[in-house]
Amino acid sequence: MKTIDFTKLARRNIRSLKPYEAKEIPCKVKLDANESPYSLPENIFMKKNIFRSLNRYPDPDAKELKKTVAKNFKVNIGNILLGNGSDELIYYLITAFEGPVLYPVPTFSMYGIISKASGEKAIGIPLDKDFDLDTDKMLAAVKKYNPKLVFLSSPNNPTGNCFSADRILKIIEASKGIVVVDEAYQPFSSEKGFLPLLGDYKNLAILRTLSKIGFAALRVGFLIGDPGMIKEVNKVRLPFNLNSASQALALEAFKRKKIVNSQIKNITSERERLLEELDNIGGISPYPSEANFILFRAKNANIVYHRLIKEGVLIRNLGKAIKDALRVTIGTPEENGFFITALRKSVGGKK
Ligand SMILES: *Cc1c(COP(=O)(O)O)cnc(C)c1O
């Protein structure tokens, strides 16, 4: 048989890429991926008729779900594009509008990964010392590179803070391209978010997702913005990107908004409790958070991370992105208690 060097065969910009690593380290308590610790109390998979006609393609426009999404976010159907997770919508945005793509760093890694996979120029501008946008540097980059797309995750993953609204607005005003405010964690934030400003800025787009509020398995995300922008992105959308099960189950999820909202309340109040607990552990410095996770600095973070795994708790090691920093997702009160106990053990003792 012939030997083929597939790496050589791949597109030049793919050759040096590494796949996104979502490592599955089995642990008793899983607090690494910013998922909700809560599922719905009832099994909505069992709802009658959800999977009735598996031989047919799903509704390509997900009309029913879109109607519900529009009502929920108080926008028109023409303002919405649905994605197989917001990850897919980031892919579509970059495919439709191309680069350069600008974002602050550290932030959600997919903006950079997808830009590079698509062969587009990606520009990461460091956040300031408070993890807020460095307005001067960001505006200079907007001027210099004229990015087609700017991605601002607010609240930002992995730092947990919202960027100052006035700084975001300055970037929207200075940009000729589209500024995407990624509000994956907005439901956990005390701030209003940018949906109310959609009418004021044509180049503002917003990303939302069901993933962080209890439905990560469904893979449903929303792009909300100007109908003209939605129309362009829709041209690159795969025809059946949302499968029938996700469409049906996402609808059921929206019907249970009350339950979901009370779960979000539990998570945010646990977040405040956890923040205090972390603050009281020697060698640990947590940052305040508007999201469902907390970033904290730890002496010997790498060692602490591995000790926690031995104790049965998986969190996120930020590695090079932020030195000596770890990110923990807010779990149930029991999980958080287990984590705190394990952390106390892990920071003490010899290396
Ligand atoms: C988790 C996350 C997403 C991905 O959401 P999906 O809808 O699951 O694809 C998008 N943006 C940010 C900032 C995230 O942290």
Whether residue 307 sits in one domain with residue 169: no
SS3 206: strand
Whether residue 227 sits in one domain with residue 167: yes
How far is the C-alpha of 323 from the C-alpha of 302, rounded, in Å?
10
- State which ligand 1 atom lies nearest to the alpha carbon of 83: 7
Please write the tens of the pLDDT for every residue from 196-241: 999 999 999 999 999 999 999 999 999 999 999 999 999 999 999 9
Whether residue 269 sits in one domain with residue 168: no
Whether residue 29 sits in one domain with residue 154: no
CA 286 from chain centre, in angstroms, equals: 20
Q: Quick one: pLDDT band at residue 137, thresholds 50, 70, 90?
A: very high
- Listed residues 255, 276, 308: the one ending a domain: 255
- Listed residues 239, 255, 271: the one ending a domain: 255
What pLDDT, on a 0 to 100 scale, did the predictor assign at position 52?
A: 65
Whether residue 69 sits in one domain with residue 192: yes
What pLDDT, on a 0 to 100 scale, did the predictor assign at position 51?
A: 65
Instruction: Give the domain extent around 208.
Output: 58-255
Centroid of ligand 1 to alpha carbon of 115 (angstroms): 16
24 with 33: CB under 8 angstroms? Answer: no
Whether residue 172 sits in one domain with residue 72: yes
In a domain, 170, yes or no: yes
In a domain, 215, yes or no: yes
Count of all residues that appear for the chain in the document: 351
- State which ligand 1 atom lies nearest to the alpha carbon of 34: 1
Whether residue 320 sits in one domain with residue 208: no
To the nearest whole percent, how much of the chain has pLDDT over 90? 87
What pLDDT, on a 0 to 100 scale, did the predictor assign at position 149?
A: 98
Please write the tens of the pLDDT for every residue from 29-70: 999 999 999 998 777 766 666 666 788 899 999 999 999 999
245 with 253: CB under 8 angstroms? Answer: no
Please write the tens of the pLDDT for every residue from 263-316: 999 999 999 999 999 999 999 999 999 999 999 999 999 999 999 999 999 999
Q: Quick one: pLDDT band at residue 320, thresholds 50, 70, 90?
A: confident
Nearest to 211 by CA among 79, 118, 89, 339: 89
Whether residue 226 sits in one domain with residue 105: yes
Whether residue 242 sits in one domain with residue 145: yes
Amino acid letter for position 173:
E
In a domain, 48, yes or no: no
What pLDDT, on a 0 to 100 scale, did the predictor assign at position 54?
A: 83
Residue 139 has pLDDT above 80, yes or no: yes
Give the number of domains in the chain: 2
How far is the C-alpha of 39 from the C-alpha of 43, rounded, in Å?
9
What pLDDT, on a 0 to 100 scale, did the predictor assign at position 13?
A: 84
Whether residue 215 sits in one domain with residue 170: yes
Whether residue 251 sits in one domain with residue 126: yes
How far is the C-alpha of 89 from the C-alpha of 94, rounded, in Å?
9
Centroid of ligand 1 to alpha carbon of 91 (angstroms): 12
Strand partners, 122: 101
SS3 44: helix
Residue 82 has pLDDT above 80, yes or no: yes
- Listed residues 255, 275, 292: the one ending a domain: 255
CATH number at residue 312: 3.90.1150.10
CATH number at residue 149: 3.40.640.10
- For ligand 1, residues with CB inside 6 Å are 34, 85-87, 108, 153, 157, 182, 184, 209, 211, 221
What pLDDT, on a 0 to 100 scale, did the predictor assign at position 49?
A: 66
How far is the C-alpha of 21 from the C-alpha of 274, rounded, in Å?
27
Considering the chain, what is the average pLDDT of its residues? 94
Mutate to test the pocket of ligand 1, among 188, 211, 318, 329 (most ligand atoms within 8 A of CB): 211
Backbone angles phi, psi at 23, to 5 degrees: -65, 135
In a domain, 49, yes or no: no
In a domain, 51, yes or no: no
Whether residue 216 sits in one domain with residue 71: yes
Centroid of ligand 1 to alpha carbon of 277 (angstroms): 27
